[in-house]
Structure 1
Amino acid sequence: MTKYLISFEKGAMDHIPEAELGEVGKAARAVCREAEDAGVFVFAGGLSYDDGDVEYAGVAVDGMVTDGPYPESKELVGGVAIVDVPTREAALQWAAKFAAACRCTQDVRKFMDDPESV
């Protein structure tokens, strides 16, 4: 099996009215439970940026730390799911389920195969 990262950019869900966010959360958790039941779920979660505390940072090769993303960062990730599936097509099917639940487009990226990685 191969692990795939399914993700969306920060702000991708900004079009959803606040009153509907609870419903979106329930739908996303339902997809996670479905993936767990199917034996392909590894991890999922949304990333926090706007809670008043700086809980994210950029760290350069020289160790310099900046609050927020490092200046070369191109995008911020809003949420992720990792699935371990036999084919790319299966990953795309799970991404479609997350896209419907989260009401936003999902990116799908394959993790490199590294037999020594845990």
Structure 2
Amino acid sequence: MTKYLISFPSGAMVIPEGELPAVADAAHAVVAEAKAAGVWVFGGGIDESVPPVMVAGNGTVTEGTYPQTRQIEGGYTVLEVSSRGDALEWASKIAAACRCAQEVRAFQYDPQS
């Protein structure tokens, strides 16, 4: 089984006024389906009102983040499925619910996780 990250940036999700409750219901239905299928690991949206910080090995905390990751925002789902094809099928369900395309990436295998 491989874990897959299925994600989208905030700007990709353009919802007409008044349709957010329907989108939320559809997204929650896909989450419930993934949980029932036993493939759900984790999911959620980045709280963009909380600024990121960097924590060094010595515990020093500084405002900001790596320059190349400054734009991490949006929604993320981690599923553990038996094939890339299965991950793409789930991504399609999420895309339909959230009304925007999803990016799919495989995590490297780690027997300890």
Q: Shorter-chain TM-score: which interval?
A: 0.7 to 0.9
Match of 2:54 among 56, 59, 65: 59
Per-residue deviation, residues 75-100 of structure 1 (Å, max 9, x unmatched): 32300111110000000000000000
Q: Could you tell me which runs of 5 or more consecutive residues in structure 2 were left unpaired when the two chains were aligned.
A: none
* C-alpha displacement of 1:47: 1.7
1:17 aligns with 2:16: yes
How is 1:1-118 mapped onto 2 (pairs within 5 angstroms)? 1-13=1-13, 15-49=14-48, 54-59=49-54, 63=60, 65-67=62-64, 69-73=65-69, 75-117=71-113
**8 A contact 1:7–1:77 mirrored in 2:** no
TM-score, normalising length: structure 1? 0.82
* C-alpha displacement of 1:56: 3.0
Whole-angstrom CA distance in 2 between matches of 1:30 and 1:55: 27
**8 A contact 1:57–1:65 mirrored in 2:** no
Whole-angstrom CA distance in 1 between matches of 2:50 and 2:70: 18
Q: Could you tell me which runs of 5 or more consecutive residues in structure 1 were left unpaired when the two chains were aligned.
A: none
Whole-angstrom CA distance in 2 between matches of 1:22 and 1:92: 25
TM-score, normalising length: structure 2? 0.86
**8 A contact 1:5–1:81 mirrored in 2:** yes
Q: Tell me: CA distance 1:107–1:6, structure 2 relative to 1, closer, same or farther (3 Å).
A: same
Q: Tell me: CA distance 1:58–1:72, structure 2 relative to 1, closer, same or farther (3 Å).
A: farther
Q: How high is the sequence identity, in percent, across the aligned residues?
A: 49
**8 A contact 1:3–1:111 mirrored in 2:** yes
* C-alpha displacement of 1:107: 0.5
